[in-house]
Amino acid sequence: MSDAQKRTAGEAAAERVEPGMVVGLGTGSTAAWFVKALAARGLKDLRCVPTSEATAELARELGLPLSTLEDTPRIDLTVDGADEIGPGLALIKGGGAALLREKLVWEASSRCIVIADKGKVVETLGAFPLPIEVIAFGHKTTANRIADVLADHEIAMPARVRTAERGLIRTDGGNLIYDARCGAIHDPSRLADDLKLITGVVEHGLFLDLADEAIIGTDQGVEVLAP
């Protein structure tokens, strides 16, 4: 993990933004570099839709004009980080528990750019635990059903609820996160579909067919990847 590489990627993505755009602001340490670089450009007539309370707070501090998905349901460009970038720009996201709002904003966007340091690019998704957002009510029952789906995908380890020192982590939407240590996800599309069918699962961190481009920060500059 290289903060310099994250910064390089974030700054390069900020150059893709044009005055007057509606911009989706991602969440996490890489997206924060983008938000800072975007604010530094001082572009006119931007409207920015944040994907988390944390990003909203950062953007507000930096003086970026904020909007919501309700007020601006069509977004021109979203720039966001990822936990893993696999073949075809299939992604795992949600390490920062923002996957639900992120996916809503990504899906409302004409164009999505994922930004990351080089270490996030993988041959096969799944070394990073897959975050699954779950309604708190009856979450242990939901976890059993998640375990059944994972077993069907030859993933033996049940997902574990995410905790912090003060107890269970809550998302901005008040839900819980289960992390599935998949090891390797051989059929991301089927796993995505199967997880979505579970009552109690709100969303999962597989972002498939959503990224239009990846800007990868390296020590030498940026690499641009297409799906």
Catalytic residues: 102
Least Å distance, CB 187 to ligand R5P, is 22
Residue 4 or 151: the one with the smaller Cβ distance to ligand R5P is 4
Residue 151 or 168: the one with the smaller Cβ distance to ligand R5P is 168
Told to check if 26 binds ligand R5P by CB under 6 A, we report: yes
Question: How far apart (Å, rounded) are the C-alpha atoms in residues 72 and 122?
Answer: 34
Q: Which residue stretch of 98-106, 160-168, 193-201, 219-227 sits at the interface with ligand R5P (rule: CB under 6 A)?
A: 98-106
Residues 78-97 contacting ligand R5P, CB under 6 A: 80-83, 93-97
Residue 179 or 194: the one with the smaller Cβ distance to ligand R5P is 179
Least Å distance, CB 19 to ligand R5P, is 25
Question: How far apart (Å, rounded) are the C-alpha atoms in residues 178 and 112?
Answer: 26
Site string for ligand R5P, 145-184 (x = CB under 6 A): ----------------------------------------
Q: 53-62 long-range contacts, Cβ below 8 Å, gap at least 24?
A: 53/172, 54/27, 54/96, 54/98, 55/25, 55/26, 55/27, 55/31, 55/98, 58/32, 59/25, 59/35, 62/35, 62/36
Question: How far apart (Å, rounded) are the C-alpha atoms in residues 32 and 204?
Answer: 22
**What is the CA 127 to chain-centroid distance, rounded?**
16
Please report, as ranges, the residues that interact with ligand R5P according to CB under 6 A: 26-31, 80-83, 93-99, 102
